Structure 1
Amino acid sequence: MEIVVAIGIGVLTASGVWLMLRPRTFQVIVGLSLVAYAINLFIFSMGRLRIDSPPVLVNTDAIDVSQYDDPVTQALVLTAIVISFALSALFLVVLLASRGATGTDHVDGKETDQ
């Protein structure tokens, strides 16, 4: 299971970086979103990948910590999701304002003729 998550994180990161290097602002926003998803998966996988494990300690007498999920990483990922959503919304507003001011969605504001 770990190799599948690692490959997924790698593919999301590579796709996001490739899209962030594109000349159009919408592609840059999608690339930033993909990198944010990859970071969320990475943080989530740092909290031990376990299936069917309770996230909260019920009884603290003679506990084995390896049998529980780490709730801190889950809270970090939830916070990161909210922040990345707000960041994407802000970038879309900036994209629309830039498109209205310059008439193009090119990153540097100049349309290249090819």
Structure 2
Amino acid sequence: MALQLLADIASDYQTISLTQLAKRYSYNRNYLSNLFKAEIGQTFSAVLTEQRLMQAHKLLTKTNLPVNTIIEQVGISNRSFFYKKYLAYYHVSPKQSRNQASAIFD
């Protein structure tokens, strides 16, 4: 079950929700949340945010899309949440990631 949930997150990270997955697999939302945490070791929202951050990082370092566009494309609606989580995960700001990537290709 855990591998299927992770695959669902990887393929539909922009719009997926725990409620949708619970409905899809006929589980109670809270039960699925507890099962996910027990099997994966992280909460659903933490794994989803991580997936979104990885996709954002890929777009930041491989495209010239504006940061706001990238944030929307990965399914994050709160800009300050994105910046805070990105910095915590990568230990650099989105701008620094983009600058480091462009320095490599220059």
TM-score (norm. length: structure 1): 0.28
Kindly indicate which of the two structures has a greater share of residues assigned to helix.
Answer: 2
TM-score (norm. length: structure 2): 0.30
Larger radius of gyration: 1
Q: Identify which of structures 1 and 2 has the higher relative contact order when contacts are C-alpha pairs closer than 8 Å and 6+ apart.
A: 1
